[in-house]
Every structure is written in C-alpha cells, then in structure tokens.
Structure 1
Amino acid sequence: MTTDAELRGALLLELGRLRRAVPELTGCLVASTDGLLIVDEAETVVAEGIAALAAACLGVSQRIADSAGQDDFQEVLISSMGGHVAMYMAGHGAVLVLLAAADANVGRLHHEARRSISVVSHVVATAALTFAQAIPEPARW
C-alpha cells in the first residue's frame, strides 16, 4: 500500500520538475476539487486560500462551459499586470494551480502543465484508491 508521504513526495517531485522547466513560475500547488490544499511549492502566497479560490473558479468555469454547450472543461488562465494564474483540471479530483511572473512564456507554461496533469491525476487517483482500500467494509446484519 502506498503511504500518504510517498504520494505527497511524488507530487512534490513533479512540482519541482515543473518549476525547473518553467523558471518564471513563482509558485505551484495541487488542490482537491473541493478546495483543500494537497501539496504546494508557493512561498509568497497563502496556498490554502489559493486552493479554495481555484476550486471555486474552476467550478464556475465548468458551469459556463456547460452552459455554452462545451464539454470536458480543462483549464483557466487569468492574466494580470502582475503575472498569470493558470488552473488545470487534473483528473476528476484535483486541480493544478500555477503562479507565474508577467514575463512568463504562456505557451511553455501550458505545454509543461499539460505534461504534469497526467502525473498529478495518476498520483491523486492512486491516493483515492489507497484511501478506498483502507476503509473497512460496512457491517452486514
């Protein structure tokens, strides 16, 4: 059985790879779609707040996409004078959030993030399976 520390370690390794591939990243994190922080590499922000807001933003974005007749929502990019916030669905249970400087190459950011999504979604799915296996069967009367 995979431990929680091993799963978090795998996510941190991927976030580290991502930060090396995109040096303009100022932070990155993985959150649940419920807005709970799973793991982060973001020193300058309150990661728990970003996690909650990212989940809310993706939920609204999913509803907009559905209302517009678009299926399979994937990502949101927010650009401001200070930089970029990119949020990506990573499977059904997680969100990958990247914070980048204003001069970041957004194409490179998307390319590397899309590579990371498969790793993050696999790790989160493994964690969910591990958790499900640890829950005892309900008593049958």
Structure 2
Amino acid sequence: MAVEAEVLNELRRLRTRMPQLTGSLAASADGLVLAQDMPGVEPDGLAALTAAALGIAHRMADTARRGEFCELLMRGAQGYVATYAAGSSAVLTLLADGRANVGRLHLEGRRSGARIADLVAAHLDAQARDQDRRPAFVLDDAVPPSHNRTLGTLPVRLPRQSRPRLRPDPGE
C-alpha cells in the first residue's frame, strides 16, 4: 500500500473519531499534498498556504525562543484551522466547525500527526533502502549514450562512421 493511501486512511479514521471535522489534509513541509479529505475546499491552495504559515510559525517559534514548532491554531467566525507538525517533512491541517471541542481537536490532531509522521518516515526509509540497492548507473542499450543521463560524465564513444580517420583509407 502506498504512503498516500495509508495517510488517507488515517485522515478518514480521524474524521470518523471527530465528527466536527469538516476537512483534513496531509502535506509535505514545502506545500505538496500527500493526501486529503476536504470536500468543498481546494486542497492545493490550502497546502500552499499551510506551507507559508508553517514557515512563519517556525520563524516565530525560533525568534521567541520557544523551541521546535509543534502546532498552530487559527479561529475564524465559522470554525477552526489547526496545523500540526507530522515529523520533520510533513504537516497535518484540520478544519473544524465552530462547535468543535478545541482540547479534543488538539488531542486527535497530535495523535494523527504522530501516525502520519511514522508513515512518512517509514516510506522515506524504504526509499533510502531501495536507493542503496540500485547500481550506481545503468546502461540502457536502447538509448544512445548521448541521451543516457546516467552516463553524462563518461566519455561517449562515437559511431564508427563519424570517428576521425588517422590514416587515409587504402581504397581512396
């Protein structure tokens, strides 16, 4: 099962545990959507705004000397937007209506953020292990050497007819 599907399952379980949630989004720290369960909200835009808010929150925590960023809560007239760190490379954003219990929102958000962090970390570890097992470069006979990116630093052998001749051909 891909990490996106596992994260989406966690988002759906979270909305089941807390019916006051109107949407949930897991994104990379740079604003790319990993998984979302947000009917009626444009997830790419919210992921980008989350990344911007995350950057400001990190700077505020650092400037105020409050340690590593953990969470951010915004209350609007129609409800809440809560953002939780999900490890060092992901973030969880939750939308809740105005009737939501903020303590419960934090409890569930922190738990899901930790689960998502574990899922993303396991996925990144698996990718790193796969990279270690791959050869340093792969020759692809179907692709000419000049187009094979893995050979970019190796000398390219020219086809026989285009090599410069060192001595005249006896037939000429």
TM-score of the superposition, structure 1-length normalised? Answer: 0.90
Task: State how far apart, in whole Å, the 1-side matches of 2:2 and 2:36 are.
Answer: 15
Identity in percent: 42
Residue of structure 2 in register with 1:92 after alignment: 88
Residue of structure 1 in register with 2:126 after alignment: 130
Residue of structure 2 in register with 1:53 after alignment: 49
Letter in 1 for 2:8: L
Per-residue deviation, 1:55: 1.0
Task: State how far apart, in whole Å, the 2-side matches of 1:54 and 1:138 are.
Answer: 37
Residue of structure 2 in register with 1:7 after alignment: 3
Residue 124 (structure 2) pairs with residue 109 (structure 1): no
C-alpha distance after superposition, 1:74-116 (max 9, x if no partner): 0000001011000001000000000010111111110111111
- 2:60 corresponds, among 64, 77, 83, to 64
Letter in 1 for 2:5: G
Runs (5+) with no aligned partner, structure 2: 138-152, 155-172
Residue of structure 2 in register with 1:25 after alignment: 21
Residues 1:131 and 1:24: Cα distance change in structure 2 (over 3 Å): same
Higher relative contact order (CA 8 A, sep 6+): 1
Residues 1:137 and 1:49: Cα distance change in structure 2 (over 3 Å): farther
Residue of structure 2 in register with 1:37 after alignment: 33
Give me the CA root mean square deviation.
Answer: 1.7
Please tell me whether Structure 1 or Structure 2 has the larger radius of gyration of its CA atoms.
2
Q: Which moved more, 1:35-44 or 1:130-139?
A: 130-139
Letter in 1 for 2:124: A
| Structure number with higher strand proportion | 1
Task: State how far apart, in whole Å, the 1-side matches of 2:29 and 2:126 are.
Answer: 18
Letter in 2 for 1:81: A
Task: State how far apart, in whole Å, the 2-side matches of 1:126 and 1:97 are.
Answer: 21
Task: State how far apart, in whole Å, the 2-side matches of 1:100 and 1:66 are.
Answer: 28
Q: Which moved more, 1:124-133 or 1:7-16?
A: 124-133
Per-residue deviation, 1:24: 0.6
Per-residue deviation, 1:69: 1.0
C-alpha distance after superposition, 1:111-135 (max 9, x if no partner): 1111111210011112222333344
Per-residue deviation, 1:7: 1.6
Task: State how far apart, in whole Å, the 1-side matches of 2:29 and 2:13 are.
Answer: 23
